[in-house]
Chains A and B, each alone.
Chain A
Amino acid sequence: MKINSSSPGDKEIIHRILDGNIDDFELLLERYRDHVFKIVAKRIPPAQMEEIAHEVFVRAYRSLAGFRGKSPFGHWLAKIAIRTCYDFWRDRYRCPEVPMSLLDREGMDFMNTVAVTGARASFRKRESSQAARELLGLALNHLSAEDRTVIEMIHLEHYSVKETAAILGWSRANVKVRAFRARKKLRHLLERLLTVNRRLE
């Protein structure tokens, strides 16, 4: 997202796009592509990542006239990206394709690492990190789209309640209650996984 001093600012580009210079949208695309992919990659399975990032930019284009410039364009785009990911999971839960199964071998190994040694150093290994991400994905898959999104925003990315409420269009009270309940559900789920893992040892 590095912007040259000579290159036009976001607002200028947006004005040009709204005036009909559609090709200028590519400038925004180049500038914010990595930013959007970074957000999407954390939330969406790799197979659907490009499709969702595509959808984010299409939605951004369609709502471009609504961009008031009160916050930086990157923040505005991040909100659209988060909402698009949330919509993806809502649709996905409506018609679940893959039944959630027990942990695979890597997930089990990871649980062993946590429960037996707790060694952070080994976690630094690429394989272990990959297994942890898969485990997190598995745990999040057991939550509803709403719970999942609120966990991601509040507990994993440390958005404030106010910001989360604004992005998701919920009341602050709803965000607080849901964040608390979702955390409780996730903890319960992780506890169960640890228990299962201990029994299988």
Chain B
Amino acid sequence: MNSGKDDLERLEKLLASAWEEVPPPAISESWQAGVMTDIRRLQGEPAEPEKNGYSGRLVWRFSAAVLVCALLLAFYTLLRGFIPYEDLALIYLEDPIGFMFNPPFV
């Protein structure tokens, strides 16, 4: 059991040093010219906005607030009691925004 753990630790160390020992890559001669060709082609095009993941973080920050709101709403609905066909009938009869019996385009 202990030997298995030792092997694993040894393996992890060896893999970590293998990560450091990547030989210098061979770059083809035409590579740099290829990049410059693309860069020249891009000249004058509008710059790309920098992707820093801020919008993603913003979404996650608000997701907690949205979750709380959803839970509160669910709790309120449970307390009040929710019977879909009754509530639909109520909306139909009360017509709170007046669009059923007074359609705006008629």
Contacts and interface: CB of A to CB of B under 8 A. Distances in A.
Contact of A54 (B11, B19, B38, B50): B38
Contact of A139 (B15, B21, B54): B15
B78 interface: no
Interface string A18-33: 0010110110011001
Q: Which of B14, B43, B47 has the most chain A CB within a 10 Å cutoff?
A: B14
Given A22-B39, A169-B54, A191-B4, A66 B47 contact: yes
Interface stretch (B29-37, B68-76, B80-88): B29-37
A46 interface: yes
A125 to B, nearest CB: 11
A120 B22 CA distance: 17
B97 interface: no
B36 A54 contact: no
Given A22-B39, A26-B32, A115-B7, A135 B15 contact: yes
Given A26-B32, A65-B47, A118-B10, A194 B4 contact: yes
Interface stretch (A7-15, A55-63, A95-103): A55-63
A34 B32 CA distance: 12
Interface in A136-186: 136, 139, 152, 155-157, 168-171
Given A29-B36, A54-B34, A129-B21, A63 B8 contact: no
A50 B60 CA distance: 35
Interface string B18-29: 110110110110
A187 B38 contact: no
A114 B11 contact: yes
Contacts of A123: 14, 17
B105 to A, nearest CB: 46
Nearest to B3: A115
A156 B15 CA distance: 9
Contact of B52 (A42, A118, A169): A169
A114 B14 contact: yes
Given A38-B22, A42-B19, A187-B8, 9 more contacts: A20-B43, A37-B25, A50-B27, A83-B51, A114-B7, A118-B7, A129-B21, A133-B18, A194-B4
29 contacts: A22-B39, A22-B40, A25-B39, A37-B24, A37-B27, A40-B25, A41-B22, A42-B22, A50-B28, A54-B31, A54-B38, A57-B39, A58-B39, A66-B49, A111-B11, A114-B11, A129-B21, A132-B18, A133-B19, A133-B22, A156-B16, A156-B19, A157-B19, A169-B51, A171-B60, A190-B8, A190-B12, A191-B8, A194-B4
